[in-house]
Amino acid sequence: MTVPRRHDFDDIPDPFAGAPLTDAKSPPLAMTPSATRRNARSRRVAAAAAAVLLEFGMLAMLGRRSTDGLSARWVLIAIGVPLASSAALVFAAAAGRVRRGLGVATIALAFALCFATIIATSAAGDGSYAGMRLCLMGGMMAGGVPAMIAFSALRHAFATRAFLRSSAFALACGLLGAATIRAYCPNDDLVHLLVAHALPALLVTTVGAVVGARLTRA
């Protein structure tokens, strides 16, 4: 296909050039003031501060782990790989490079695998299941609440690419939650890390991307 050049479309007339339009005079307005730039900036700073305070508050309540435990490389693999792959799929789907169905199916598969692992470990009486519930709930709270705060501060903020941008925020909040729980949880079992730490982050990222796109779209 040849690349279009200047005046290439000039031969096509505009059928609506003379269409009757509504009076172009400025209409009378009756409105409650919307947020201005200054309001929005302070609201976003307050939201970021609230999110950070929440994380520190949770850590103060739960307590920080005393040992360094598993090497950072394994933690990175256990949490980072599933998160990075799901985030890549979400972003790719948002950018239209792959079909959304494929992205959704892959994320659903990741969830199914995580839940299957929970069921299998609980049935086997694996010790790693013991602290799973607290980490799951804590991770979701530590990631989900900042995401909700962020989206309420960013309501109607994105005219374009709302899904992509809200996905980025949701991913950041999911990782924040995972980091907070990692700073508390002394359990270094890889299955535990995958299920109880990566799953909440995954959940926050995917649900946040979908919900956030609706809330932040202008």
Partner 1 sequence: METLDVTLGPRGPAPREPGRVASGSFAAPSMADDDATQRPTEPDEDDLDRAMNAYADGEDQAFARIHAVLAPRLQRFFLRLGASTRESEDFLQETFFRIHRARSSFAAGSPALPWAYAIARNAFSDHIRRTRRSTSLLGALFGSWTHERAVQGPDVEHDATEAVDRVRVALDRLPPNQREAFVLLRFEGLSVSDAAEVLETSEGNVKVRATRAADAIRRALKGDGEEP
- Interface ranges with partner 1 (CB under 8 A): 1-40, 96, 154, 156-161, 217-218
Min separation Cβ 5 and partner 1, Å:
5
Q: How far is CA 36 from CA 40, 42, 136, 180, 216, in A?
A: 6, 10, 38, 33, 16
> What secondary structure letter does DSSP report for 12?
S
Q: Which is nearer to partner 1, 175 or 213 (CB)?
A: 213
DSSP, collapsed to helix, strand or coil, labels residue 157 as coil
Q: Which is nearer to partner 1, 31 or 72 (CB)?
A: 31
Concatenated DSSP letters of 58-86: HHHHH---S---S-HHHHIIIIIHHHHHH
Sign of the torsion formed by the C-alpha atoms of 52, 54, 55 and 59: positive
Min separation Cβ 139 and partner 1, Å:
30
Q: Which is nearer to partner 1, 141 or 157 (CB)?
A: 157
Min separation Cβ 43 and partner 1, Å:
9
> In the numeric block, which tokens belong to residue 148?
């909700």
What's the rounded Cα separation, in Å, for the pair 139 and 79? Answer: 12
Min separation Cβ 90 and partner 1, Å:
15
Q: Which is nearer to partner 1, 28 or 125 (CB)?
A: 28
Min separation Cβ 190 and partner 1, Å:
39
Q: Which is nearer to partner 1, 34 or 66 (CB)?
A: 34
What are 217's strand-pairing partners?
158
**Smallest Cα–Cα separation from 177: which of 139, 124, 127?**
139
